Every structure is written in C-alpha cells, then in structure tokens.
C-alpha cells in the first residue's frame, strides 16, 4: 500500500496517517487551543486593554471629501470643550521621515509595493474619503469623540476619480511584493489562442471586500525619556511586531532598542492590521504631542477607509483548447484599483499561472489609481478572486465541451509547475478530487443544468480546484529548559486566532521531549527572537522549524552539560548516543542510565539552558515548487423565482502537508471556507460612485455570513507530510480554505439554474435579472 | 455623540408632560435604534426620556375579538405570544424574521414601528441627506440606491431639498399594515386613535419627518382589530438571517366559503411607509383563489413602480412575493415552515440540508 493510500484510509482529521517520526508525541495531536479559556473568560489582553496609568484618549476626524486639500481647520471650539487636551493636525504634528521603502525585506513603496505610502498628519492633501486628518486628545474617549464634532474643517475640493475603467493613471506593475512577476505573455500566447479549435473568452468582476475582524484597530502609545533617549512602548493590534518596529524607528528616527512593540492577542486580522498602514504611527504622533500615554480605538465606521480592503477587480479569461478539453493557451487579464498613494496590486493570475498544464500561458495585471482608500492583502490575496475567475471559466469550458468538470481538470493536470518548470514538492491533488468525489457524492450530479428540483428550489452541484503557496520565510526562536523541569519557548510571532500559542507549544514540547503541560510558548514582543509578519499562511511552516530547532539546540546543550559532568551517569557519552525522553536524558536503548533535566542543570549550578535557532528556507526552494492543493464541492438550492441561493452542503479535501494540530487546522480551514462563502454570497462594500466616501460602514450593512447561511461543512485533509519542507513537513492552512469556495458555489448555481453569474456576490437581484433576461 | 440629559418618566402623563415641556426631547424605549443614531450624531436630542419603566407591557384581549399590545412589549414577547402567533400570524412571522434574538429581546413594539430608515446616507453626517439635515440634498438618488423606494418617493433630483427615496425598514410594520392595526396615542391633548395607514407618511415636501406624530405624542398601545382569516409574511434578504428585507410582503386574507371575502396586501422595503396594494386587494375581493388570479393581482399592485440604477430588481421580486404570499396564505401552496415562525417567513430558509418530509 502506498503512503498516499494508507493516508487516505485514515482520512478523518485527527486520524491522519501515523507519524513516521517517533520524536513526535504532541505534534499531530488533536488538542484544544491553550488560550481558549483566557479568551472566553476575558483574561486575554488585547491591544486596547493594557492597564496604563495616566492614560489619555484619542478620537480621529475623517475627511469628508475624497480628493482635494484641507484649507483650514478651526479647532477653537473643540479645544475649549471639557477634557480636551490637544488637537493634532498636519499643522502642529511633529515631522516624520518619509515613508520607508522597505519593511522586513518587502518593498513597501512603488507599483506592486505593499504599503500606503503616506505618513500621517504631515500635509493637507486628501487622497481618499474618510482619510484621517486630525486627532482629538482628551481625558476620556467620550470627551474626545464629542469634541471631534466641534472641529470645523474647510476643504478645497476636487472631483474624485472613482471609475477603474476611466482612470487617468493606470500602470502595469512588474512584480508583486518584489517577488512574483505580474506580467507575462507574448505573441505566442496570442497565436495559440487564435489557432485553438475551441475558444472561450469571458469577463468576471468582483466587488470590494473588507476584512472586518471582531477586534477593531487600536493602539496605546507610551513615550518616556530614559538615559537621555526617547523611548516608545507601543501596544498595537499589529500582526507584525518586528516590521512595525522597523517602520516606527525609521519614521521617528529612533534606534531599534528604543522602540518596544507588544501584541499578545489579536482579535482576527484576515490580512488587515498590516504593518503598512498609518494607524500606529498616528497614535504615536498624537501621544508625543499630548505628552502622556494615549489610547486610540478606531470606530468600526472608520476601518472601511483606513484598514485596507480587497480591491474590486475585473478579470478577462481567454482559453484556447482542443475539443477534448486539453488547454493549449490561457490568458488572464485583471484590472483592479489602488489608491493614489499605494501600489498594492491584487494579483489576479496568482492561481492561473501555476494550476494547469497549459503550454502557452500569459497574464496581465493592470492597476488603476483612484481616489479610494488603499487596498491591502486579504485572506487569499489574488487566489480567492482570481482563482474564482479561473475556476468559473474552467466550468464554462467543461459545460461547452460537455466534459465532466473534474475530468476536464484531470486532463489538464500539472505534474510540474508551469510557472517555474519545477516539480511540485508534495502534490496529491488527484487524491483530493477522488476523495471529494466520493465523500460529496459527485456522481449524483445531473450533467445537464436546471434538471433537478426539490419543491420550488433548483438543485445544483459544483466543484473547483483550490491551491495556496506553501511559502516559508526566515524566523528565529529560543527555547529555555528550566531546572524545575519546565521549558519556555519564544518567538516574535503572533496569535490572531490561528492557534500559534497552541501549535508552537506542541512543537516545543516534542523538541525538548517534555509533556505539553510543562511547556509554554510566548510571542508578540519585539524583544523576542525575530519572526516575520503573520501573513501568507507561512507561520507554522516558518516559526515551527525555528522552535523545533531551538528546542533541539537546548537539548544538545543539556547533553553537553551531562556528558562533561563527572557526576552524571551520562558522563563521557557522545551526544548521538543520548536520547531525550519524557524530561530525562538517557542512553539509547538503556533508559535506566540517565537522569532528569533538572538534576543535570542543578548539578551544573545553572538555573536554565537556552537553545537558539535561526532558520530560513534553503536550496530546496530552487528545486521544488511548494504549494498546497484542494478540491472543493458545493451543493446549492436556488429559488426559481426569487433567486435566493442557499448552500446545502460544502465539502473540501485538502493536501497541505502534515497537520500539527488537526483541531486548530480544521478551525482554520472551516473559517476559511466560511470566509469564501461570504465572498460568494453575501459580502460587498460600496463606495459612493459620486463622492467616493464609504457607504457601507457597519456590520448591519456588510453581511458576513450568519449561522443560517452556513451549512454543515465536510473537511478532509490528506495529512501527508511534505518531504521537502524540513522535519515538520507542514504547510500553513490559514488561507487555504477560502480558495475554491466561491467558484464551487457559482458553478453549482449554474448547474442548478443554467444561468452563469459572472459577478460576485451572488445576491438575489442578480439571479432575478438573469431569470428575466435569460 | 452630542451630550444630552437622560431622564426616566414615571408614568404616561409624566412622559407626555416632559416631552411637551422640554425642547428637543425624544423618547427612548429599548434603545436599539435610538442609540446607534445618537452615536452617529443623527438624532440630536437635548433630553432623552426613558419610557421603559412606565409599564405598557401587557398584551390583552379587546372586546369584540381584537388584541391590544402595549407599546413597551418586547418584540420577543410578542413574537412568541400564542394569540399573535395563531390569530395574527403575519406579525409573529415578521418579528421572527427581523433583527436578531438579542435585539428582539430589547426592542419594543412602538420603537420597532418608529425605527428610522436604513438608508446608509442617513447615518453618515458627511453625506447629503434631507432626512438628517433638511436642505442638504439626497445622496441616494445618484449614489447607492439598491435598497431604495420604488413607490411614493419624492425625487426632484439630488440637490433638491424635497428629495428622499428612502424606505421604511420595519418588518413588523408591514404585517401591521396588512392587519390594519390602530395606534393608540397619548399627548398633551389627551388620548386619540389613528389608523395604521396614517402613522407613517411619504416624504412629500418634508423628508425629515418619518411619521405624522408630534414630539409629545406617546404611543401607548397598538390595537389589532378582530381577524378571522389567515395572515402571512414573506421576506427576501441578502443573508439568511439578521438582514433587512430587499422586499417583503404581508397578506391577510379572510374567506367566505371558497371565495375571498377580503384580502389585504402590503409590501415592505418599497416605500417610505409600508405600502398597501389597494388595486390588488380590490381585484382579489370576491374571487376564488388561483395562481392566475394572484399573478394578476401582483401585476396590478406593482403598476406605477419607479426604479433607480440599482434597484431595478424590486418590481420583479415584489410581484413574485405577492403571488407567492397569497398562494401560501390561501393554502394553494404549502408554507415553507411552521406558521408563525421565521421558517415560514424567510424565503430560501436556512443553509444546510433540511429533512424533506
Ligand atoms: C443590527 C440591527 C438589525 C436589525 N434588523 C432588523 C430587521 O431585520 N427588521 C426589522 O424590522 N428591524 C430590524 N432592526 C430594528 C429593530 O427592530 C429596532 O431597532 C427596534 O425594534 C427598535 O425598538 P426599540 O424599543 O429599541 O426603539 P428605540 O431605539 O428605543 O426607539 C426608536 C424610536 O422610537 C421612539 N419611541 C419608542 N417608543 C415610543 C413610544 N412609546 N412612543 C413614541 N415614540 C417612541 C423613540 O423616540 C425612537 O425615535 C434591527 C436593528 C439593528 C440594530
Ligand atoms: S433617500 Fe432619504 S434618507 Fe436617504 S439620503 Fe436621500 S434623503 Fe437621506
């Protein structure tokens, strides 16, 4: 029986194939999150909750226009209001260095860069609606908010540019985030398209989406003078303490050791709470003016403009194929908007470039700069929407050619990555299709659309492929063994609901061979070993190896102590001959000859020993293409008169390396799938087409899916460790689940109704229009 | 939020007297609508008079078979009340299909009727809105108008001080319109009753006013006249739960043998007030229920609808709902769920595989 087969026999989460490595006891176990109790009892401390003495509060004033300049700000009435201490505007704010070009190695500026290239309160220019233009500082947040109403702002207004297709400033950025090419294709793609016997050309469009995590943006900034230097302690909702520290130090001209950033719990981010936005800098600036520690919690209404978003996009997919479905050429054109001060490019062809074995591949990513707020990454950047367009186009091709959608995908199955020409490190997508087909009951699908009914509802089945890069970055960690037989691990990563506290504790525990109860893991602090931003679903695969290696290093140091100690039963033993097990070191095959960690440390006269590791991806990245894969299936019921869509069933089968913790992984995947369901059916942000101000400004109008929108979700993970990604063999799963859900639902709607919707979200009005116009 | 004084009223007389005496006073009951609007600076009272301690929380039978519901009865109490569920089913269904359980637990009956439009421009002081700031214009006409009116709106262009195309958002109000509820009011001039039809108004020349109530008019009860028929509510929304209606429809039908003795049909989220389809009602009276009849009634009811760039779907959706609601009310087609519950009212039901019996 092949490894894949044996894995498949135990497909249920938590029942993955037995671990080959004896070393792993906690890793791979289905454990509850270690911070669950703290979260539900309110003892987990979020950014706005740190007890700080002598605190003052801020409220931010938003611009009421989307383009122009602030002519004057009259704050005289506000300053006279009770409790008001200061009004900080571009006229009196301290100057900051210009926006940094890079952060944590990523380009922040320029076309394709990630940042909003603007320092707060430095000049009167308005680039987008509801831009932060002043901060009121007061003794209480109520006083600050009230006084914010009393400030009179006058503007010189210019008409905002709001139409992606009529934008006066458009570009074709060359690289996404400094790495992946954003443009490809030449004559040969066009020729292949023209010459193909079957040609399909379709346009798709998706709206703006907002992350909307429960916890809103917030910071507390505390300045102090110590040793003749300005020092800043910043509590922030950031999911990148190290990168934010770089940006803060650069902006305020401070050395690294003068800025300390803490972020212990984040109430969800989904791509927001990026390091690249001005909110923490604004708070630090205002605190400086106030001369006291300052807390600022943004209002929900304000995150629609300052928190980033997934931009609206138009996609044009062109496919040239053989009558048997083999694709000969594929081109994906995307246009999206960014702001006037950001080059962020939602990379529409991110999935198209690597998913199928197409000899002639091309893509174009165009950027239209508008007077809209700056977009940002959002869970599944490029994949969720671009992948939706691709997987919908494939379904259209399958239906045109009367080929089963899974069969069409198998005919175009990529054994090597068409983008790089490298083999995939760990691809078992065929197994995902097979398992999904079986668990979902794909065979019951009616190939002919609009032929299955239950009462007034049309029933449809749809599927789509899913993928996500299994990226890794550099990270460091320390693991300290204490004389009392416990261990603490540290790395400056983040807990944003992803389970970091839990999985890294598991990894550290196995690394030092201690039961998990005796190990803690701490994060979210710039004084800890460096870690990258929590993004791109890299965290487990990046910080995990650092924690494991640091733990291994701690054990090596302990072995060294024991072997050099004459009084130890392990005196003189070679490290390779010593095994760590259940808090003891002993000789291999001879458990009696050994002693526990505490005894070794105490006799050596030390309280602890610390292992360190700095890891980074190596040459394997040049030999293999690292991706996770999946197959997603949906059954929908569509009301044949009102166009109301309900998802009856969702099923996702994923191939994403080894699961460190099936329970937290399952939560991530399920949350991701519901995220995708929201994008497919209910979520959409509107900016006013005339004045550019955000119109959707609250959670009553922005519809994240409710329980009633969410069916039972079947999730299966192959749980096959990636042999090329270190001892852990793990990929991240944070964004994987989002991918594939929107097209699976849309394809199911087509199967149910015979109407192809090419615009997200699939709200009733769109189907009503389709019913009417055929 | 603009600071205001907060005061409890002791009884009805006290509440009315306070409201009459104090400038710019407003009532607050459950506060689920009021507090949001205070925070946004849309409502700017100088005094907030809390009426939640003055009673008005009884549901009692009226002589002659009607029902009186106190103004402060919670939405969740009313939605589960047997008499409402059985005799005024549309009202129970509308309540269950609105807001969330938490909000219904706080919300009062009078407050529900008087909640303000969900037009997003009302809630953003940076936007033009005649309803919030008379004379500032109406951003919805040329902006986001997907949720907006197709009947009875005033549209003299985005700049006009008279323009308002907002819709009334309450589900329950639509069902009350179909039941021809009577509003009992106390004010400085004593007690009076007004027909439901006269509670809400169209924007006409003054979009800032949602209703015909004066500032010291306190609603004390809602009276439901005796009803010997079947009523029903249907709602279509963007999300399966916890969303306002795109369009909704309430019907109240009394039969005489196999013929319709009287039918009242009201649409929600199509006008500045619950919108009675009098033409459709006239067409139904005395007829035998049939799908064909209901389609004709829907056609007649939707005549004259005027749409905008984003709400062109509303007449089509309303036609379907009118015909379907009538068909379900008269038993031509089965309800989607048990009468008096959200399952009967929510078109599409909930996600997941529901046991098909
Ligand atoms: C997120 C959200 C979703 C919602 N979804 C829906 C929905 O889907 N469908 C729906 O129908 N509703 C919905 N609602 C609205 C909800 O039903 C109302 O907010 C609620 O019914 C108002 O009742 P209240 O007692 O809280 O009113 P309050 O907020 O206390 O008052 C509302 C208004 O009524 C006035 N008032 C209250 N009592 C009296 C009285 N006795 N006499 C005179 N004036 C009075 C107040 O002065 C105020 O102007 C939603 C609300 C929220 C916040
Ligand atoms: S429709 Fe009415 S409520 Fe909406 S912006 Fe216009 S005037 Fe204001």
pLDDT of residue A771: 95
Selected residue of A634, A678, A701, A753 to mutate for chain B interface (largest B Cβ count, 10 A): A701
The answer, for A132 touching chain B at a CB cutoff of 8 Å, is no
CA A632/CA A616 separation, integer angstroms:
32
Selected residue of B351, B353, B355 to mutate for chain A interface (largest A Cβ count, 10 A): B351
What is the distance, to the nearest Å, from the Cα of residue A431 to the centroid of all Cα atoms in its chain? 26
Task: For chain A, give the percent of residues with pLDDT over 90.
Answer: 92
Residue B167: CB within 6 Å of ligand 1?
no
Residue B106: CB within 6 Å of ligand 1?
yes
Question: Residue A542 burial by CB count (10 A; 0-12/13-18/19+): exposed, middle or buried?
Answer: buried
In this complex, the residue of B2, B240, B320 whose CB is nearest that of residue A708 is B240
User: For A241-300, what is each residue's pLDDT tens digit?
Assistant: 999 999 999 999 999 999 999 999 999 999 999 766 899 999 999 999 999 999 999 999
User: For B190-240, what is each residue's pLDDT tens digit?
Assistant: 999 999 999 999 999 999 999 999 999 999 999 999 999 999 999 999 999
Token code pair at residue B3: 């600071």
pTM score of the predicted model = 0.96
Residue B172: CB within 6 Å of ligand 2?
no
Q: How far is B118 from chain A (nearest CA, A)?
A: 9
pLDDT over 60 (residue A22): no
CA A368/CA A171 separation, integer angstroms:
7
Furthest CA-CA distance within chain B: 61
pLDDT of residue B357: 44
Q: What is the mean pLDDT of residues A643-665?
A: 96
pLDDT over 70 (residue A2): no
Report the 3 state secondary structure along chain B: CCCCEEEECCCHHHHHHHHHHCCCEEEECCCCCHHHHHHCCCCCCCEEEECCCCCCCCEEECCCCCEEEECCCEHHHHHHCHHHHHHCHHHHHHHHCCCCHHHHHHCEHHHHHHCCCCCCCCCCCCCCECCCCCCCCECCCCCCCCCCCCCCCECCCCCCCCCECCCCCCHHHHHHHHCCCEEEEEECCEEEEEEHHHCECCCCCCCCCCECCCCCCEEEEEEECCCCCEEEEEEEECCCCCCCEEEEEEEEEEEECCEEEEEEEEEECCCCCCEECHHHHHHHCCCCCCHHHHHHHHHHHCCCCCCCCCCCCHHHHHHHHHHHHHHHHCCCCCCCCCCCCHHHHECCCCCCCCCCC
Domains of chain A plus CATH, in order, are 36-44+473-616 (3.30.365.10), 46-381 (3.90.1170.50), 419-471+622-773 (3.30.365.10)
The answer, for B337 touching chain A at a CB cutoff of 8 Å, is no
User: For residue A661, how far is its CA from the centre of ligand 2 (angstroms)?
Assistant: 51
User: For A306-317, what is each residue's pLDDT tens digit?
Assistant: 999 999 999 999
pLDDT of residue B353: 85
pLDDT over 60 (residue A199): yes
User: For residue B311, how far is its CA from the centre of ligand 1 (angstroms)?
Assistant: 25
pLDDT of residue A5: 46
User: For A520-573, what is each residue's pLDDT tens digit?
Assistant: 999 999 999 999 999 888 899 999 999 999 999 999 999 999 999 999 999 999
pLDDT of residue A287: 98
Residues of A (703-722) whose Cβ lies below 8 Å from B:
703, 705-712
CA A100/CA A250 separation, integer angstroms:
7
Q: What is the mean pLDDT of residues A55-62?
A: 98
pLDDT of residue B23: 83
Q: Whose CA is nearest to atom 6 of ligand 1?
A: B99
Place of tokens 């460790």: A721
Query: Taking CA atoms, what residue in A is nearest to B313?
Result: A765
- Rg of chain A over Cα atoms, rounded to whole angstroms, equals 27
pLDDT of residue A214: 95
CA A484/CA A292 separation, integer angstroms:
41
CA A262/CA A49 separation, integer angstroms:
12
Reference A544, options A534, A558, A559, A555; nearest CA is A534
Under 8 Å CB pairs connecting chains A and B tally to: 124
Q: What is the mean pLDDT of chain A?
A: 94
- In which element (H, E) is residue A470 found? none
Given the DSSP bridges, would you call strands A313-321 and A327-338 parallel, antiparallel or unpaired? antiparallel
Q: Do A149 and B2 touch (CB under 8 A)?
A: yes
Residue B121: CB within 6 Å of ligand 2?
yes
Domains of chain B plus CATH, in order, are 5-50 (3.30.43.10), 230-345 (3.30.390.50)
Question: What 3-state class would DSSP assign to A332?
Answer: strand
Which residues are registered as beta bridge partners of A114? Answer: none
The one catalytic residue among A111, A161, A346, A735: A735
In this complex, the residue of A62, A690, A771 whose CB is nearest that of residue B143 is A690
pLDDT of residue A17: 39
User: For A309-345, what is each residue's pLDDT tens digit?
Assistant: 999 999 999 999 999 999 999 999 999 999 999 999 9
CA B108/CA A141 separation, integer angstroms:
30
CA A367/CA A311 separation, integer angstroms:
10
Contact list, A642 vs chain B (CB under 8 Å): 236, 317, 320-321, 347-348
Query: Taking CA atoms, what residue in A is nearest to B97?
Result: A708
Selected residue of A60, A455, A640, A709 to mutate for chain B interface (largest B Cβ count, 10 A): A709
Reference A712, options A512, A439, A409; nearest CA is A439
Reference A620, options A471, A735, A413, A736; nearest CA is A471
The answer, for A647 touching chain B at a CB cutoff of 8 Å, is yes
> Confidence band (pLDDT; 50, 70, 90) for A20?
very low
What is the distance, to the nearest Å, from the Cα of residue A710 to the centroid of all Cα atoms in its chain? 21
pLDDT over 80 (residue B282): yes
pLDDT over 70 (residue B356): no
Q: Give the Å distances, CA to CA, from B201 to B148, B154, B209.
A: 16, 12, 8
Q: What is the mean pLDDT of residues A754-760?
A: 98
pLDDT of residue A16: 36
CB count within 10 Å of CB A592 equals: 7
Task: For chain A, give the percent of residues with pLDDT over 70.
Answer: 97
pLDDT of residue A8: 38
Residue A735 a catalytic site member: yes
Site to probe by mutation for ligand 1, drawn from B33, B47, B58 as the one with most ligand atoms within 8 Å of Cβ, is B33
pLDDT over 60 (residue A425): yes
Q: What is the mean pLDDT of residues B64-88?
A: 97
User: For A438-448, what is each residue's pLDDT tens digit?
Assistant: 999 999 999 99
Question: For residue A569, what is the DSSP state?
Answer: T
Q: Which residue has the higher pLDDT, B124 or A774?
A: B124
């Amino acid at each position: 029986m092949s490894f894949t087969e044996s894995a498949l026999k135990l497909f249920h989460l938590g029942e993955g194939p037995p671990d080959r490595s004896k070393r792993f006891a906690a890793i791979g176990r289905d454990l509850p999150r270690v911070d669950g109790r703290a979260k539900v009892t309110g003892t987990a401390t979020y950014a706005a909750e740190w007890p700080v003495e002598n605190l003052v509060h801020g409220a931010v004033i938003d611009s009421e226009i989307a383009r122009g300049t602030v002519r004057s700000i009259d704050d005289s009435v506000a300053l006279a209001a009770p409790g008001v201490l200061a009004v900080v505007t571009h006229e009196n704010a301290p100057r900051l260095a210009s926006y940094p070009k890079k952060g944590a190695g990523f380009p922040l500026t320029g076309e394709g860069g990630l940042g909003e290239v603007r320092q707060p309160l430095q000049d009167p220019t308005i680039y987008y609606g509801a831009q932060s233009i002043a901060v009121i500082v007061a003794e209480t947040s109520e006083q600050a908010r009230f006084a914010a109403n009393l400030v009179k702002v006058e503007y010189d207004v210019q008409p905002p540019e709001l139409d992606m297709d009529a934008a006066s400033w458009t570009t074709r950025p060359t690289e996404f985030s400094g790495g992946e090419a954003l443009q490809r294709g030449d004559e040969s793609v066009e020729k292949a398209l023209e010459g193909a016997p079957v040609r399909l050309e379709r346009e798709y469009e998706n709206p703006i989406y907002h992350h909307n995590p429960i916890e809103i943006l917030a910071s507390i900034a505390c300045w102090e003078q110590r040793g003749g230097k300005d020092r800043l302690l910043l509590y922030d909702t950031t999911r990148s303490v190290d990168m934010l520290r770089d940006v803060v130090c650069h902006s305020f001209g401070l050395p690294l050791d003068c800025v300390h950033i803490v972020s212990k719990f984040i109430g969800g981010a989904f791509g927001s709470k990026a390091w690249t936005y001005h909110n923490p800098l604004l708070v630090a600036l205002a605190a400086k003016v106030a001369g006291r520690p300052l807390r600022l919690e943004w209002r929900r209404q304000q995150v629609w403009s300052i928190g980033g978003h997934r931009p609206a996009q138009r996609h044009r997919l062109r496919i040239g194929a053989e009558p048997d479905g083999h694709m000969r050429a594929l081109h994906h054109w995307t246009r999206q908007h960014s702001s006037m001060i950001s080059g962020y490019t939602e990379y529409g062809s991110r999935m198209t470039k690597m998913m199928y074995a197409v000899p002639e591949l091309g893509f174009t990513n165009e950027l239209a700069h508008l007077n809209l707020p700056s977009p940002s990454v959002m869970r599944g950047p490029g994949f969720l929407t671009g992948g939706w367009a691709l997987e919908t186009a494939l379904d259209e091709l399958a239906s045109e050619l009367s080929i089963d959608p899974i069969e069409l995908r198998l005919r175009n199955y990529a054994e090597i990555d068409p983008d790089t020409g490298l083999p995939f490190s760990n691809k078992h997508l065929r197994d995902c299709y097979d398992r999904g087909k079986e668990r979902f009951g794909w065979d019951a699908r009616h190939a002919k659309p609009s032929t299955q009914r239950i009462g007034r509802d049309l029933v449809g089945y749809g599927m789509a492929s899913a993928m996500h890069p299994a990226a890794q970055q550099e990270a460091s960690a320390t693991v300290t063994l204490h004389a009392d037989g416990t261990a603490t691990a540290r790395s400056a990563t983040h807990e944003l609901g992803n389970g970091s506290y839990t999985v890294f504790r598991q990894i550290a525990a196995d690394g030092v061979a201690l039961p998990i109860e005796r190990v803690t893991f701490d994060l979210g602090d710039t004084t800890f070993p460096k870690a990258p931003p929590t993004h791109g679903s890299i965290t487990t695969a990046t910080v995990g190896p650092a924690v494991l290696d640091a733990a291994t290093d701690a054990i090596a140091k302990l072995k060294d102590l024991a072997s050099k100690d004459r009084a130890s039963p392990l005196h003189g033993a070679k490290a390779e001959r010593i095994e760590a097990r259940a808090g003891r070191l002993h000789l291999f095959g001879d458990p009696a000859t050994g002693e526990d960690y505490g005894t070794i440390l105490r006799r050596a006269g030390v309280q602890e020993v610390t292992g360190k590791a700095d890891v980074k991806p190596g040459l394997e990245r040049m030999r293999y293409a690292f991706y996770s894969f999946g197959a997603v299936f949906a059954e929908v019921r569509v009301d044949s008169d009102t166009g109301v869509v309900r998802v009856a069933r969702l099923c996702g089968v994923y191939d994403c390396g080894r699961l460190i913790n099936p329970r937290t992984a399952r939560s991530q995947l399920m949350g991701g799938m519901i995220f995708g369901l929201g994008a497919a059916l209910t979520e959409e942000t509107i900016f006013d087409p005339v004045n550019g101000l955000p119109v959707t400004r609250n959670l009553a109008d922005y519809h994240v899916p409710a329980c009633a929108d969410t069916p039972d979700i079947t999730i299966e993970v192959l749980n096959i460790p990636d042999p090329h990604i270190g001892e852990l063999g793990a990929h991240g799963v944070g964004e994987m689940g989002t991918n594939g859900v929107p097209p699976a639902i849309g394809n199911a709607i087509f199967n149910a109704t015979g109407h192809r919707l090419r615009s997200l979200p699939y709200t009733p009005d769109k189907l009503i229009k389709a019913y009417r116009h055929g | 939020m603009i600071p205001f004084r907060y005061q409890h009223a002791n009884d009805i007389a006290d509440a009315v007297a306070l409201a009459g005496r104090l400038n710019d006073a407003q009532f607050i009951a459950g506060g689920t609508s009021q507090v949001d609007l205070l925070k946004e600076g849309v409502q700017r009272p100088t005094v907030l008079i809390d009426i939640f301690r003055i009673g008005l929380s009884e549901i009692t039978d009226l002589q002659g078979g009607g029902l009186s519901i106190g103004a402060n009865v919670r939405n969740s109490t009313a939605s589960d009340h047997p008499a409402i569920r059985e005799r005024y089913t549309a009202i129970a269904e509308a309540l269950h299909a609105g807001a969330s359980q938490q909000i219904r637990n706080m919300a009062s009956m009078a407050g529900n009727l008087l909640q303000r439009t969900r037009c997003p421009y009302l809630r953003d002081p940076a936007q033009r809105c005649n309803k919030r700031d008379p004379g500032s214009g109406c951003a919805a006409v040329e902006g986001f108008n997907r949720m907006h009116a197709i009947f009875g709106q005033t549209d003299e262009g985005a700049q006009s001080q008279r323009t308002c195309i907002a819709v009334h958002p309450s589900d329950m109000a639509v069902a009350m319109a179909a039941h021809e509820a009577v509003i009992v009011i106390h004010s400085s001039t004593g007690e009076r009753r007004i027909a439901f039809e006269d509670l809400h108004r169209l924007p006409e020349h003054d979009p800032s006013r949602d209703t015909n109530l004066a500032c010291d008019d306190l609603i004390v009860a809602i009276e439901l006249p005796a009803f010997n028929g079947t009523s029903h509510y249907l709602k279509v929304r963007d999300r399966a739960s916890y969303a306002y209606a795109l369009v909704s429809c309430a019907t109240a039908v009394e039969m005489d043998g196999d013929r319709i003795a009287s039918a009242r049909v009201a649409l929600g989220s199509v006008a500045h007030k619950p919108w009675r389809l009098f033409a459709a009602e006239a067409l139904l009276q005395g007829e035998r229920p049939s799908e064909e009849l209901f389609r004709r009634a829907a056609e007649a009811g939707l005549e004259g609808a005027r749409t905008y760039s984003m709400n062109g779907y509303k007449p089509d959706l309303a036609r379907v709902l009118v015909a379907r609601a009538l068909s379900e009310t008269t038993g031509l087609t089965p309800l989607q769920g048990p009468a008096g519950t959200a399952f009967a009212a929510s078109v599409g039901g909930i996600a997941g595989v529901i046991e098909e019996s």
